[in-house]
Structure 1
Amino acid sequence: MVTMLVSAVLAGCTAGPSVRPAVVENDGKPRPNVPPAAQPAPLPPLAEPQSPSIKWSDCDADTRERLGSPAVPDSLKFSCARVATTLDAPDLPGRGLARISVLKVGTGTIPLAVVNDVDGEPGSLYTARLAATLPPAFLQKFFLVGVDRRGTGASAPVQCIPGPVRRDLLGGDPAAQDLEPVLDAARKAGQQCAIELDNAQVALDSWRGAGDLDELRKALGLERLNALGHGDGSKVLADYAVRYPGQVGRVVLDGLPDPGADTAAVLDAVAAGAQTTLDAFAADCVSRGCSLGDPKAALTAVADRLRTSPAVSEDGAEFGPGIALYAVYAGLGQRSRWPELADAITAARAGNVDGLQAFAAPFLLDSRAKPTRLDGTIATRCNDSATRLPADEITKVAGVMKGKYPQFGTVLAQQLAWCSPWPVRREALPPAGAAGAPPILVASTAADPMTPEQGTVRAADQMPSAVTISWQGAGHGAFSTSPCVTDAASAFLTDGKIPVDGTLCPA
């Protein structure tokens, strides 16, 4: 367990309010299940690329068009490239070609790879927005390399599920007695994806995503990969540390998912995190004097209204209560959009679902310019998971979760149905842990609707070199949102300053 003291966090405020709360440091905490002899390697120094082979080309105008509103500053300039990697399907190991799309922003000399959630914005766009929140000094030290994970963004996006089926996959209504419509949609989705994806179907996972990152490391001309993971993008980097511990540079994992094999239990904890985040959202709404009132009562009113009088979304399809609640869940993970989310719920209570549709659209709508996020999410998460429950067990779990978490129990439980027809991974993977890797900074957020703190801490407990820092705030991820975490992570990446294991950052 690493217990080196941090010197002082960076002086400048990188995001959020101008007055930063002080860091609260524990005296360290016990790390269960980690052998005392499992000492981490030293934190490696930063090194500039040597003989990079990657070919960057200007993509500034195209990136800005893809970003839409809100725009990012004109001072940021974007370049793009593609990195060849191996598809590596289980039946064709070491064969097949895949190309990973990456984006570069920043004028520094040290590459820092950025990997986002599979169901979030493609890594390229997430990185472009992230760059706009970081201080100039950081982007003069590093240049960020946003990675579109395989099956997402511009990296051969998965687009195999028919539009109406997507709506059924997301439309589990808490008032329903079972999830049979979702299960039926999952069967249709699985059949269609098996046909269209062929060998690639089971090659879309986090383990192979880690292999893509090593090809990126080589193309960048690096001996070690420095990287930042957000949400389940952190899982790809955790897998990287297991596969390539000797190539790990300075790595920050912001919201590492629970590694538990019982997906139902993991989703139960995620639902609990979503409910806690909803309470934080309500408090934030009160502090801003918004007109929403009690969000739980508002969501009940929205669901009841849509159940009796379904709305029609902008693409002419029905917008029911299940999709509305999924849209709210997605919005809770985007802290900067909470005022917009509150307005959307208020409008939906009066019958206007346009605002909620904006939160659901990235999952429902699909085009060449803006591929759906849902198809790649299902492929990746189902390939990462070995859990396959029968229909009656899914119904039972959904009933329990609905009772415990009225707003989001069904929203999360329906994900168990998504993987029902999906092939189960046959290859055995090494245990988590990344023995021999240097210190890895793992950040958690007290109220996180996507990667709850409980799961992040459990994941860190399996990593001998993990150093944890916790933000006592709310939202999905702490880096660039909590000034305290941002400063500590920046000091770790830039200057090699390692915080005390168990450091707390106030909300």
Structure 2
Amino acid sequence: MRAGQYRSRRFAPVAALAVLLLAGCTAGSTTGSTAGASSDAVSGSTAAGAPGAAPLQPLPAGTPAALATYYAQKLSWQNCRGDFECTTFKVPLDYEHPDRREITLSAIRKTATDPAHRLGSLLMNPGGPGGSAVDYVQNAARAADPGVRSSYDLVGLDPRGVGESTPVSCLSGPRMDAYTAVDITPDDQAEIDALVAADKEFAAACQQESGELIGHVSTVEAARDMDVLRALVGDAKLNYLGKSYGTFLGATYAGLFPGNVGRMVLDGAVDPSLDSRAGNRTQAGGFETAWAAFAADCAKRDDCPLGRSEKEAGQQLTALFRQIDAKPLGTESDRVLTESMATTGVIQAMYSESLWHTLREALTTAKAGDGSALLRLSDDYYERSSDGSYPNLMFANMAVNCLDLPAPFADPAAVQQAVPDFEQASAHFGRDMAWMALGCAYWPTKATGAPHTIRAAGASPIVVVGTTRDPATPYAWAKSLAAQLESGRLLTYDGDGHTAYGRRSTCIDNAVNRYLLGGEAPANGTRCAK
């Protein structure tokens, strides 16, 4: 997906949902923590947001009369998906005109195991934009901390445009296959024309299949939907766990409804103050940092196919990409592996250390002429099913991102001019991510959002978790968001992979769980290691 500051202008948070679920729900190892502010530089922003970004203004307290009927709905929870409960409710398509069209949103919950000591609902979002929270909660409920499970109803709401909530629809499976294979590092005018044609086809298909919905899937609108659900489940305050793009959604809620914020954890934070060009460039640097960590680890291992140094590994990766660009690799299926798919496969493995071994094997077989393993990684990123179908993850991703921020580039000439700057940030992925950012230039709906800071004045403590070598949401973003929030508490994981809570650090897990269960927010600047 070539637009999407958060799922990475094709690469970014949800971390291919399957990986993010693993990252968010595995047991951690014993670690320690230290307090103290980090000295890491915040590229592209000041400590409290990019210069010139205006603050997000809160909405008036109380329920507007025009929305009273939406806030007064009665939820009907029905058994679904085994031992879960599901429900639907209505929200206006356009909050500025709530008397016109309405849309249906879908939610799921797993009720608290200790109802007598229940603290309320914990709304969860895995990121994207476009990741299904309904799917996510099913996995999270099985692996969540026992104390959290006993104290909270775990609730997943598919945001507007996503999954089971009046979804954005665009390309068929075969057309999506073609889209993901298009060269995203064009070498000549013919390849530039092909990329532009693919982006235009994607945009036109979304408009044709989804109509006016694509103009009303912004993060601000999704945050307003969350407040409706907060009221409908009977909670005075919204307790929330958001990962990746889910941090932007949660922070936006806090900015709009600071008085309604309960216990909020934002893990793998997005910096709302950056424009789309700065966000893409910074994210390219995040993937470069993650690649360097992988390459250094690979060079120490006997099964590394890329040589015995980080530098050599980078050179061999570049050579492999060039080879595949010239001649796509055959696979065990009737599809070939293009350079675009190979890059996506490598990027997919950056989201979690658990995939580093898989990537070493995939690069080994690719160098031998078989692209099957890298293709599987690429398909995992897009959540492509074995039958060739795709969820609407990438469709919603493009729609949300193109609404939330103005397009970073107006045309291919602007991208070409920016490529050197992106390559300075990331030698291996900068060029790709510059060209991926072109998609919103052809989007049929103008952006309704702009870069902004979020203060959320008066909100309860908000815990912002950042991982120092996070590929998709660079650590600098967490520092910036925590500094913007009046009640922000920065909690740092010194490690690899995308997001931190529930992954490998007992220190992180304990700090978050103490906050969720007892309201004890960690001291600002607390750091945790593996």
In 1, the alpha carbon distance for the partners of 2:224 and 2:78 equals 24
SS in 2 for 1:82: strand
Matches within 5 A, 1:49-60: 53-60=74-81
In 2, the alpha carbon distance for the partners of 1:430 and 1:404 equals 23
In 2, the alpha carbon distance for the partners of 1:118 and 1:82 equals 21
When normalised by structure 1's length, the TM-score is 0.82
In 2, the alpha carbon distance for the partners of 1:303 and 1:195 equals 35
In 2, the alpha carbon distance for the partners of 1:307 and 1:81 equals 47
Does 2:354 align with 1:358? no
Residue of structure 2 in register with 1:397 after alignment: 418
Matches within 5 A, 1:301-320: 301-311=319-329, 316-320=334-338
Q: Residue 497 and residue 94 in structure 1: after superposition, are their counterparts in 2 closer, same or farther (change >3 A)?
A: farther
SS in 2 for 1:152: coil
Residue of structure 1 in register with 2:345 after alignment: 327
Residue of structure 1 in register with 2:267 after alignment: 254
Q: Unpaired segments of 5 or more residues in structure 2?
A: 1-24, 40-45, 56-71, 308-312
The percent of aligned pairs where both chains have the same amino acid is 26
Residue of structure 1 in register with 2:477 after alignment: 455
Q: Residue 166 and residue 244 in structure 1: after superposition, are their counterparts in 2 closer, same or farther (change >3 A)?
A: farther
In 1, the alpha carbon distance for the partners of 2:154 and 2:204 equals 38
Distance apart, 1:84 and its partner CA: 2.3
Q: Residue 180 and residue 464 in structure 1: after superposition, are their counterparts in 2 closer, same or farther (change >3 A)?
A: farther
Does 2:401 align with 1:381? yes
Matches within 5 A, 1:154-193: 154-161=164-171, 163-164=174-175, 167-168=178-179, 171-174=182-185, 176=187, 179-193=192-206
In 2, the alpha carbon distance for the partners of 1:398 and 1:164 equals 28
1:445-484 per-position Cα deviation (integer Å, ceiling 9, x unaligned): 1111111011221122221111111111111101111322
Does 2:92 align with 1:86? yes
Distance apart, 1:93 and its partner CA: 5.1
1:361-408 per-position Cα deviation (integer Å, ceiling 9, x unaligned): 253847898514211111111111123422211122234323542321
1:397-451 per-position Cα deviation (integer Å, ceiling 9, x unaligned): 2343235423211332223211001222347898522112111000001111111
Q: Residue 236 and residue 425 in structure 1: after superposition, are their counterparts in 2 closer, same or farther (change >3 A)?
A: same
Does 2:343 align with 1:338? no
1:237-291 per-position Cα deviation (integer Å, ceiling 9, x unaligned): 1111111112111000001212234211211110111011112223444677544
Distance apart, 1:302 and its partner CA: 3.5
Residue of structure 2 in register with 1:406 after alignment: 427
Q: Residue 348 and residue 420 in structure 1: after superposition, are their counterparts in 2 closer, same or farther (change >3 A)?
A: same
1:18-54 per-position Cα deviation (integer Å, ceiling 9, x unaligned): 4x121111179997589xxx9xxxxxxxxxxxx9943
Runs of 4+, deviation exceeding 6 Å: 27-31, 366-369, 427-430
1:295-354 per-position Cα deviation (integer Å, ceiling 9, x unaligned): 534533432332233135677444311121022213312343333333223222223323
SS in 1 for 2:441: coil
Residue of structure 1 in register with 2:125 after alignment: 115
Count of residue pairs brought into register by the alignment: 462
Q: Residue 354 and residue 499 in structure 1: after superposition, are their counterparts in 2 closer, same or farther (change >3 A)?
A: same
Distance apart, 1:212 and its partner CA: 1.6
CA contact (8 A) 1:157 1:376 kept: yes
Of 276, 280, 284, the residue aligned with 1:267 is 280
Residue of structure 2 in register with 1:502 after alignment: 525
Q: Residue 21 and residue 499 in structure 1: after superposition, are their counterparts in 2 closer, same or farther (change >3 A)?
A: same
Residue of structure 1 in register with 2:105 after alignment: 100
In 2, the alpha carbon distance for the partners of 1:78 and 1:104 equals 6
CA contact (8 A) 2:129 2:400 kept: no
SS in 2 for 1:132: helix
When normalised by structure 2's length, the TM-score is 0.78
SS in 2 for 1:311: coil
Q: Unpaired segments of 5 or more residues in structure 1?
A: 1-13, 39-50, 62-76
In 2, the alpha carbon distance for the partners of 1:336 and 1:287 equals 17
Q: Residue 427 and residue 495 in structure 1: after superposition, are their counterparts in 2 closer, same or farther (change >3 A)?
A: closer
Residue of structure 1 in register with 2:294 after alignment: 281
Structure 1 window deviating more from structure 2 (129-138 vs 291-300): it is 291-300
Residue of structure 1 in register with 2:6 after alignment: none
SS in 1 for 2:34: coil
In 1, the alpha carbon distance for the partners of 2:325 and 2:47 equals 48
Residue of structure 1 in register with 2:9 after alignment: none
Does 2:467 align with 1:445? yes
What is the one-letter code of the residue matched to 1:213? Answer: M
Does 2:491 align with 1:469? yes
Q: Residue 244 and residue 168 in structure 1: after superposition, are their counterparts in 2 closer, same or farther (change >3 A)?
A: same
In 1, the alpha carbon distance for the partners of 2:449 and 2:277 equals 22
Residue of structure 1 in register with 2:310 after alignment: none
In 1, the alpha carbon distance for the partners of 2:186 and 2:446 equals 31
Does 2:502 align with 1:480? yes
